[in-house]
């Protein structure tokens, strides 16, 4: 399973002293982009080429909170949901005690310049790998 | 229905020129806190008093994107899900054409200083109103 | 003097319970873009047209902190610094007690598609107004 | 000289496709906190103990932009400015070509629970090292 290791940065904490809920979204997005890159799909290059990878649904369960100093890994597993939809099963797991902090499913698609769903051959290849 | 009006700020846009997905989480959180405040529940004061309102699950459907200059409203409706869980039905709606951009359900609970679920009388009153 | 009114959003607070220093940067940028827009200069449209307004220097003095619930105004005054540089004198002032929270000077320029300084007629007009 | 290595995350880019100016502030803050931690000063622990490290002035020169995929290092050097003020000389340097992206001076102080400047023995030790 693909995963990246990250560390909490203090500016990501909110007044409760824990990582703000919205920040997990950033963590998950970053891990997805790294996952895609490791599979030869460059999000920024795609964007410049007029192909927009977009999120259409997210379901996140917040199980436990990250704090200052915590290190964690973000896991990414890809599955095909339909002809034009793909799902990323993602987890944020604290390194220290292997506790799952966030468990999520993020569903996306790709749009061409006319805003129509378009799974390019490069994206298609992700599923046949 | 409770709602607040907001405007896109350019620093919230990503390289696709649209509001980044993670930012909607911020919009929704801000609207929830304003909703609570309008009902006499001050998130910051609660936090200082050791009662933590936390999100335990979020389900968001991204229907349409916001861009530079867009104004939108964020709607909030509260429902009781269980003894200790409450759900916020929330929508982000573009003002210009009344298009729904995000449709979401955010489920939360309240924890006391020992990390145990605790719906204070003040929170309890939200549901009997 | 141009100014906009804004309110603190709780996700902008850090673990000290005050608005994180980096956030003031966002406030100032948003106010500059609104200032430009009110003078007929649309940052997003310029960007799409290949003209990039960029910040080259910022000097900020942090005088006082904003907290949850605070409302404030962000002031913007424009001055010409050189043929290709312009300066924004900006202040963040808490509404409640008129206290200056941040006092700043943000210096910018405009770059064309080749990355060369280029003050378009539209930008030039800002100074002759 | 103390430095940490970081990588651009795509959510940090703005519609110009470059790291938003406000984000550099986050990078610099994170590097300062890591610097302090490596010298035995834990920002989060200090905050909980009622000692607030605060920024009172920042001067940043933006020389060059970071883009998607860029790796960079953030350098930190500490100097004493007065009895109660300390300065962090910081640079953001792109790894690829050793180009300086941001050159900055961030001046801070420490406040005790009454909001009075207070350089604790632990902080004092930073300068005698």
What confidence score (pLDDT) does residue C61 get? Answer: 98
Q: Do B13 and D14 touch (CB under 8 A)?
A: yes
Strands A71-80 and B71-80: unpaired
Which among C15, C55, C59 has CB closest to D59? C59
Spatial CA neighbour of A102 closest among A121, A87, A89, A86:
A89
Is the CB of residue A26 less than 8 Å from the CB of residue D9?
A: yes
B56: tokens are 């335990």
Closest residue in D to B15 (Cα–Cα): D15
Q: What is the ipTM of this complex?
A: 0.94
| Contact of A80 with A127, CB cutoff 8 Å | yes
pLDDT of residue D115: 87
Sheet holding D86-94, edge to edge: C2-7, C71-80, C86-94, C100-111, C52-62, D52-62, D100-111, D86-94, D71-80, D2-7
**B68 to chain D, closest Cα gap in Å:** 9
As a whole number of angstroms, the distance between CA C67 and CA C10 comes to 8
pLDDT of residue B121: 86
Mean pLDDT of A51-80: 97
Task: Mutate one of A24, A37, A44, A71 to test the D interface: name it (highest D CB count within 10 A).
Answer: A44
- Could you tell me how many CB contacts below 8 A there are between chain A and chain D? 44
Nearest residue in B to D67, CA atom: B15
Identify all chain B residues contacting A55, using CB atoms and an 8 Å cutoff.
21, 62
Tell me how crowded residue C98 is: count the other CB atoms within 10 A of its CB: 8
The CA-based dihedral angle spanning residues B70, A57, D26, C6, taken in that order and rounded to the nearest 10 degrees: 30
| Chain C closest-CA separation from residue D128 CA (Å) | 27
Taking a C-beta distance cutoff of 8 angstroms, is the pair C10, B43 a contact? yes
Q: Spell out, as residue ranges, where chain C has pLDDT lower than 70.
A: 129
The owner of tokens 């009895």 is D83
Tell me the C-alpha to C-alpha distance, in Å, between residue C107 and each of A82, B29, C29, C78, C119.
50, 33, 12, 10, 14
pLDDT at residue C116 in the model: 92
Confidence of residue D129 (pLDDT cuts 50, 70, 90): low
In this prediction, residue C129 carries a pLDDT of 62
Contact list in A for residue C17 (CB cut-off 8 A) is 15
State whether A54 and B61 contact (CB < 8 Å).
no
Residue in chain A closest to D69 (alpha carbons) equals A44
pLDDT digits (tens, 9 = 90+) for A12-45: 999 999 999 999 999 999 999 999 999 999 999 9
Residue B62 and residue A56: Cβ atoms within 8 Å? Answer: yes
Extended strands (E) in chain C: 2-7, 52-62, 71-80, 86-94, 100-111
Task: List pLDDT tens digits, range B63-73.
Answer: 999 999 999 99
- Considering only CB atoms, which chain D residues are within 8 Å of A10? 29-30, 33, 43-44
Rg (CA), chain A: 15
- Cβ-defined contact of B15 to A47 (cutoff 8 Å): yes
Rounded to a whole number of angstroms, the distance from the CA of D2 to the nearest CA of chain A is 17
Q: Which of B15, B29, B62 sits opposite A21 (nearest CB)?
A: B29
- φ and ψ of D84, to 5 deg: -120, 5
With beta carbons under 8 A apart, name residues in chain C contacting D15: 44, 47
Of the candidates C36, D11, A57, D95, the residue with the CA atom closest to the CA atom of residue B23 = D11
Instruction: Check whether B116 has a pLDDT greater than 70.
Output: yes
Chain D residues with CB inside 8 Å of A74's CB? Answer: none
Q: What is the pLDDT of residue A129?
A: 63
User: Which range, of A91-95, C24-28, C62-66, D47-51, averages the lowest pLDDT?
Assistant: D47-51
- Identify the residue whose tokens are 């999000």: A43
CA angle A82, B66, D7 (to 5 degrees): 75
The whole-number average pLDDT for the span D79-102 is 96
Contact C58 D58 (CB under 8 A): yes
Residue D62 reports pLDDT greater than 70: yes
**A56 pLDDT above the threshold of 80:** yes
The mean of the pLDDT values for chain D is 95
Q: Quick one: closest CA in A to B64, which residue?
A: A56
Residues of chain D positioned with their CB less than 8 A from the CB of B16: 15
Which helix or strand (DSSP H or E) is residue A38 part of?
Answer: helix A21-38
Task: Look at the block and give the residue holding tokens 């312009």.
Answer: C86
Mutate to test the interface with D, among C12, C25, C103, C115 (most CBs of D within 10 A): C25
* Arithmetic mean of pLDDT, D91-103: 98
pLDDT at C89: 98
Per-residue pLDDT at A121: 86
Per-residue pLDDT, D121: 86
Q: Best residue in D8, D11, D15 to probe B by mutation, most B CBs within 10 Å?
A: D15
User: In Å, how far is A26's CA from the nearest CA of chain D?
Assistant: 7
Which chains does B contact via 3+ CB–CB distances below 8 A?
A, C, D
Q: Which residue has the higher pLDDT, C87 or A126?
A: C87
Option in A11, A17, A22 nearest C20 (CB): A11
Judged by CB atoms closer than 8 Å, whether chains meet at A44 and D9 is answered as no
What CA dihedral angle connects C37, A51, D9 and D56, to 10 degrees? 0
């Amino acid at each position: 399973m693909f995963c990246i290791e990250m560390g909490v940065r203090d500016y990501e904490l909110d007044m409760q002293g824990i990582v703000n809920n919205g920040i997990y979204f950033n963590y998950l997005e970053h891990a997805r982009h790294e996952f895609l890159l490791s599979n030869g799909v460059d999000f920024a290059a795609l964007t410049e080429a007029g192909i927009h990878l977009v999120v259409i649904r997210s379901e996140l369960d917040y199980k436990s909170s990250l704090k200052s100093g915590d290190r964690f890994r973000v896991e990414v597993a890809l599955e095909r949901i339909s002809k034009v939809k793909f799902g990323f099963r993602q987890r944020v797991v604290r390194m220290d005690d292997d506790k799952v902090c966030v468990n999520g499913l993020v569903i996306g698609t790709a749009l061409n310049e006319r805003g129509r769903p378009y799974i390019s051959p490069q994206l298609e290849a992700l599923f046949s790998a």
